[in-house]
Amino acid sequence: MTEDDLENHLKLCEQSLLHPAVRRDPVRLSAMLAHDFQEIGSSGRVWTRETILTLLATEQYQPPVVEDFTCRRIANGVALVRYRTVRVDQVSGESFVTQRSSIWIEQAGEWRVRFHHGTKVAQPL
């Protein structure tokens, strides 16, 4: 897989992980998460694979827009992706921006996310 192909593939994977239908489907979601998956959320809380599968099954969620996506292969079968998400509150119109990064690993020919981190971007004063 070329670098461009890998970037395009993992961008589609990340975007699908942001889609409510995937997030609420434990079969589809678990297929994309490595068995030892962990996330540090924008709140600072650490989530395991099991807690994410449980939490997202009933989540009410408006998917954000993905911007500035980059992907770098950091070792054989390991890739780091970075991007920003922008979510607009439907009522107030206020934008919420989060910087995100994920480490993806290739297992048995499939790419799975092993680690994800989100950091809220401070709103301008």
pLDDT score of 116: 97
Q: What residue ranges do the domains of the chain occupy?
A: 3-120
Sign of the CA dihedral with 67 first, then 98, 33, and 82 last:
positive
Q: What is the pLDDT of residues 47-73, one digit of tens each?
A: 999 999 999 988 887 889 999 999 999
Fold of 3-120: Nuclear Transport Factor 2; Chain: A, (3.10.450)
Q: What is the pLDDT of residues 76-107, one digit of tens each?
A: 999 999 999 999 888 888 888 999 999 999 99
pTM (2 d.p.):
0.91
Count of C-beta atoms within a 10 Å radius of residue 18: 16
Burial class (CB within 10 angstroms; exposed 0-12, middle 13-18, buried 19+) of 10: buried
